[in-house]
């Protein structure tokens, strides 16, 4: 950029008015133990979980420890009848929604209906005592049920070997819980953040489409249906049975109630006070459709029904978990995948509703609570449970105050298991499919996809990659694509960090990116470059080469316009949070290259970690401590007179 004489003289006049130049301070030296302790504390204990135990008596520490593990003993002290009324209404409302959903979701996991109900009895009770969210509603969810069912049937055919399939389900649930507890106990919750929001949006939308397509079997009354989940196989299976496989009575029942359910959701969406219409619509649909089938004997005309749901409370299943043998490793692998997906969904839901009510949830406590309930659940005939978005939304709108709403829901499910399950005998499977379809439609977030496209095109690629992977291949492939693209984005950002040329804003001592601020002017004879990343082995060579490319381009521009050459290169390092030995080596190589061009290297505002390492490596002696400044303005103020002397 060409600088006129007026600009140059104005710069020098302003430089003369600058206050004295400040040097970068060297922080106190820490010993090895202090460095390691500080690093571990910041990484794993940034929230300082032991803060509340400081300066407390032994008995008080014991009480606080119990309250930390079981938050119900903390908020339970202030529990009142007015809060219970809100929790009672919310609990009854989500119970009416969860019962038909549980029957359907167990179908996604290739399990009998009672296992879905079992999973809404024990896990919510455990969570109510250990969870920190007031609004999250616990139970089986569509996506986790689909993932679990898909992965399990790849190992054991549920129709040919239902006993071992069930045992493998409990094994996977056990290890899902162990995974969650481990992540929470060792405070490794940040690992789930590696799956980007965009990838989750795409994966959820793809899973919703896949789940809905799978329901066409029961919605259309098709007897022979593909076990594959990709859209091509499903649609081929649907269209090849048009002439001989569809049952019109089933279609009438399924489609009619699907329209009713979607209409109820629209009413609730337009009028928030009528949320209960959508909440009770599934149970009302089950009751009405069951009566219709019972009265008309539609089951004798090809309409498939649920048949008997085993009556009674959860039987123990600890002896049915594979703790050895060939299925142990398979159960562990499936459990880790299902547990991570369940965690991601639950934490996202918990944070969303906590933000609405302006309270905090502890992510690590949540993981321990979710993991414990799944470990106990695996021993009481449950499969993987987590936070349900649809039920949590209803719970929130119904006026829940605490996790007691989960206890109420759990007790209603208990009564259902003990008394009401025989009434579901004539429930048509088509209505269960209709309920599932209406529920998973909410997982397709078009607005989020549009926002992702507007904000970040690479995020959009991750979103679409996960979506198409699930829809056109399988749930596993979609999940793999989602994780791979998320990691690829991290690697790309780490290995190719942004750099920028800075210029001085008129009538200030502020230096900003000249692309963002066109009015910012370059300083004659000085090139100012900012590095927007830590400098590690993965990006150090790129940063060095990028800075040299900036310098080469600038020199060519100056030569073409017969302007003074570059004499100083100032690197603005305030965004550089850390540097390793490879980064320091790259700076040394940069310094060597600059010397050959008769350009002096100057650093501005390196942070405490960086400046410590620069001193430890003697790099500050190499370039001279007088070439390290507190601000870019200080560096320019010092370098300008030197240029006049050259």
Encode pLDDT of 385-442 as tens digits: 999 988 998 999 888 999 999 999 999 999 999 999 888 999 999 999 999 999 898 8
| Distances 504 to 23, 153, 642 between C-alpha atoms, Å | 20, 64, 19
| Rounded distance between C-alpha atoms, residue 257 and residue 468, angstroms | 29
| Rounded distance between C-alpha atoms, residue 119 and residue 112, angstroms | 12
Task: Characterise 275 by phi-psi region: left (phi > 0), alpha (psi -120 to 50), beta (else).
Answer: alpha
pLDDT digits (tens, 9 = 90+) for 16-52: 444 556 666 556 666 666 556 655 555 545 555 556 6
pLDDT at 67: 82
For 599, the token pair is 């350009």
DSSP class per residue in 459-518:
HHHHHHHHHHHHHHT-HHHHHHHHHHHHHHHHHHHHHS--EEEEEEPTTSS-EEETTT-T
DSSP state of 135: S
pLDDT digits (tens, 9 = 90+) for 216-244: 988 988 878 887 888 998 898 888 888 77
**What's the whole-number mean pLDDT along residues 127-147?**
93
| Rounded distance between C-alpha atoms, residue 312 and residue 300, angstroms | 28
Q: What share of the chain is helix, strand, coil (3-state, %, to 5)?
A: 65, 5, 30
pLDDT at 574: 92
DSSP 3-state of 361: coil
**What's the whole-number mean pLDDT along residues 458-462?**
89
Q: Which residues have a Cβ under 8 Å from the Cβ of 457 and sit 6 or more positions away? A: none
Which of 57-61, 300-304, 493-497, 613-617 has the highest average model confidence (pLDDT)? 613-617
Half-sphere exposure (CA, 13 Å, Cβ side) for 452? 19
**What's the whole-number mean pLDDT along residues 120-125?**
96
Nearest-5° angle of CA 533, CA 535, CA 539?
95
Pick from 12-26, 58-72, 213-227, 527-541: least confident: 12-26
State the CB neighbour count (10 A cutoff) for residue 624: 11
| Rounded distance between C-alpha atoms, residue 185 and residue 12, angstroms | 59
Beta bridge partners of 600: 568
Spacing of C-alpha 95 from chain mean position: 27
| Rounded distance between C-alpha atoms, residue 2 and residue 290, angstroms | 82
Of 66 and 35, the structure prediction assigns the larger pLDDT to: 66
pLDDT at 2: 41
Nearest to 115 by CA among 125, 126, 104, 124: 104
pLDDT at 5: 44
Beta bridge partners of 388: 137
**What's the whole-number mean pLDDT along residues 269-294?**
90
Nearest to 393 by CA among 503, 501, 269, 492: 269
pLDDT > 90? residue 531: yes
pLDDT digits (tens, 9 = 90+) for 545-562: 999 999 999 999 999 988
| Rounded distance between C-alpha atoms, residue 481 and residue 470, angstroms | 9
Strand-strand pairing, 568-572 and 137-139: unpaired
pLDDT at 447: 93
pLDDT > 50? residue 249: yes
Q: What is the mean pLDDT of the chain?
A: 87
pLDDT at 646: 43
Strand-strand pairing, 568-572 and 526-531: parallel
DSSP 3-state of 531: strand
Which of 57-71, 182-196, 514-528 has the highest average model confidence (pLDDT)? 514-528
Return the H-helix or E-strand segment holding 263: helix 248-270
Return the H-helix or E-strand segment holding 575: none
pLDDT at 32: 61
Strand-strand pairing, 568-572 and 600-604: parallel
| Rounded distance between C-alpha atoms, residue 40 and residue 579, angstroms | 18
Q: Which residues have a Cβ under 8 Å from the Cβ of 359 and sit 6 or more positions away? A: 134
| Rounded distance between C-alpha atoms, residue 134 and residue 352, angstroms | 12
pLDDT > 60? residue 644: no
pLDDT at 20: 59
DSSP state of 424: G
Strand-strand pairing, 386-388 and 499-504: unpaired
pLDDT > 80? residue 273: yes
Sort 274 into a burial class: Cβ within 10 Å, 0-12 / 13-18 / 19+: middle
Beta carbons of 602 and 570 less than 8 angstroms apart: yes
Name the pLDDT band for 245 (thresholds 50, 70, 90): confident
Beta carbons of 119 and 140 less than 8 angstroms apart: yes
pLDDT at 12: 45
Beta carbons of 315 and 378 less than 8 angstroms apart: no
| Rounded distance between C-alpha atoms, residue 151 and residue 330, angstroms | 9
| Rounded distance between C-alpha atoms, residue 157 and residue 148, angstroms | 13
Q: Which residues have a Cβ under 8 Å from the Cβ of 536 and sit 6 or more positions away? A: 494, 578, 579, 580, 582, 583
Tell me the domains of the chain and their CATH numbers.
84-487 (no CATH), 499-643 (3.30.750.24)
Beta bridge partners of 535: 579
| Rounded distance between C-alpha atoms, residue 522 and residue 3, angstroms | 7
Sort 424 into a burial class: Cβ within 10 Å, 0-12 / 13-18 / 19+: buried
Q: Which residues have a Cβ under 8 Å from the Cβ of 585 and sit 6 or more positions away? A: 540
Taking every pair of Cα atoms in the chain, the longest distance, rounded to a whole number of angstroms, is 103
For 257, the token pair is 């109630």
Phi and psi, residue 331, nearest 5°:
-65, -40
pLDDT at 247: 86
For 527, the token pair is 């090139």
pLDDT > 90? residue 336: yes
pLDDT > 90? residue 645: no
DSSP state of 308: P
| Rounded distance between C-alpha atoms, residue 253 and residue 428, angstroms | 8
Spacing of C-alpha 94 from chain mean position: 25
Query: N- to C-terminal Cα distance for the chain?
Result: 22
Q: What percentage of the chain carries pLDDT values higher than 90?
A: 59
Model pTM score: 0.79
Pick from 9-18, 257-266, 596-605: least confident: 9-18
pLDDT at 383: 97
């Amino acid at each position: 950029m060409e600088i006129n004489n007026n600009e140059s003289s104005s710069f020098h006049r302003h430089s003369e008015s600058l206050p004295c130049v400040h040097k970068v301070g060297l922080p106190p030296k820490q010993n090895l133990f202090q460095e390691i302790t500080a690093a571990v504390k910041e990484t794993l204990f940034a929230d300082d979980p032991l803060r509340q135990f400081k300066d407390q008596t032994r008995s008080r520490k014991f009480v606080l420890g119990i309250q930390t593990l079981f938050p119900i003993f903390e908020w339970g002290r202030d529990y009142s009848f007015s809060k219970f009324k809100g929790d009672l209404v919310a609990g009854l409302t989500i119970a009416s929604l969860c019962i038909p959903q549980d029957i359907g979701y167990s179908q996604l996991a290739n399990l009998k209906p009672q296992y879905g109900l079992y999973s809404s009895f024990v896990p919510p009770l455990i969570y109510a005592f250990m969870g920190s969210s007031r609004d999250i509603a616990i139970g089986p969810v569509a996506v986790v049920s689909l993932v679990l069912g898909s992965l399990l049937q790849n190992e054991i055919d549920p129709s040919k070997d239902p006993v071992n399939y069930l045992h493998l389900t409990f094994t996977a649930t056990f290890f899902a819980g162990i995974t969650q507890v481990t992540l929470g106990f060792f405070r490794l919750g940040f690992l789930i953040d590696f799956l980007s929001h965009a990838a989750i949006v795409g994966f959820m939308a793809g899973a919703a489409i896949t789940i809905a397509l799978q329901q066409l079997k029961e919605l259309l009354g098709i007897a022979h249906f593909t076990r594959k989940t990709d859209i091509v196989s499903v649609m081929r299976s649907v269209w090849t049975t048009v002439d001989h496989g569809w049952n019109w009575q089933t279609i009438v029942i399924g489609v009619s109630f699907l329209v009713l359910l979607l209409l109820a959701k629209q009413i609730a969406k337009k009028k928030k006070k009528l949320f209960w219409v959508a909440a009770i619509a599934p149970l009302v649909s089950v009751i009405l459709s069951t009566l219709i089938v019972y009265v008309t004997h539609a089951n004798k005309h090809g309409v498939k029904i649920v048949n008997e749901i085993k009556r009674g409370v959860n039987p123990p299943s600890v002896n049915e978990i594979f703790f050895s043998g060939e299925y142990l490793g398979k159960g562990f692998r499936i459990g880790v995948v299902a547990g991570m997906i369940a965690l991601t969904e639950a934490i996202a839901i918990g944070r969303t509703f906590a933000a609405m009510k302006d309270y905090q949830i502890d992510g690590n406590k949540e993981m321990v609570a979710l993991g414990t309930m799944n470990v106990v659940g695996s021993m009481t005939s449950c499969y993987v449970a987590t936070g349900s978005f649809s039920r949590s939304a209803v719970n929130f709108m119904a006026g829940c105050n605490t996790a007691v709403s989960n206890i109420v829901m759990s007790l209603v499910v208990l009564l259902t298991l003990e008394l009401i399950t025989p009434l579901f005998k004539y429930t048509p499977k088509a209505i269960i499919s209709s309920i599932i379809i209406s529920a998973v439609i909410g997982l397709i977030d078009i607005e989020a996809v549009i926002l992702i496209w507007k904000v970040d095109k690479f995020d959009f690629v991750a979103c679409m990659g996960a979506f198409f992977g699930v829809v056109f291949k399988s749930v596993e492939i979609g999940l793999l694509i989602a994780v791979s693209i998320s990691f690829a984005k991290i690697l790309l950002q780490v290995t190719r960090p942004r750099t920028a040329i800075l210029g001085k804003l008129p009538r200030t001592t502020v230096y900003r990116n000249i692309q963002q601020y066109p009015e910012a002017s370059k300083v004659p004879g000085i090139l100012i470059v900012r590095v927007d990343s830590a400098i590690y082995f993965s990006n150090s060579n790129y940063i060095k080469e990028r800075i040299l490319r900036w310098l080469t381009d600038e020199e060519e521009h100056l030569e073409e316009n017969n302007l003074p050459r570059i004499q100083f290169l100032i690197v603005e390092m305030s965004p550089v949070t850390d540097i390793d030995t490879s980064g320091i080596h790259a700076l040394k190589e940069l310094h060597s290259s600059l010397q050959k061009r008769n350009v002096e290297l100057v650093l501005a505002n390196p942070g405490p970690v960086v400046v410590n390492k620069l001193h430890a490596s003697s790099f500050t002696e190499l370039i001279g401590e007088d070439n390290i400044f507190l601000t870019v303005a200080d560096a320019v103020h010092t370098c300008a007179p030197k240029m006049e002397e050259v």
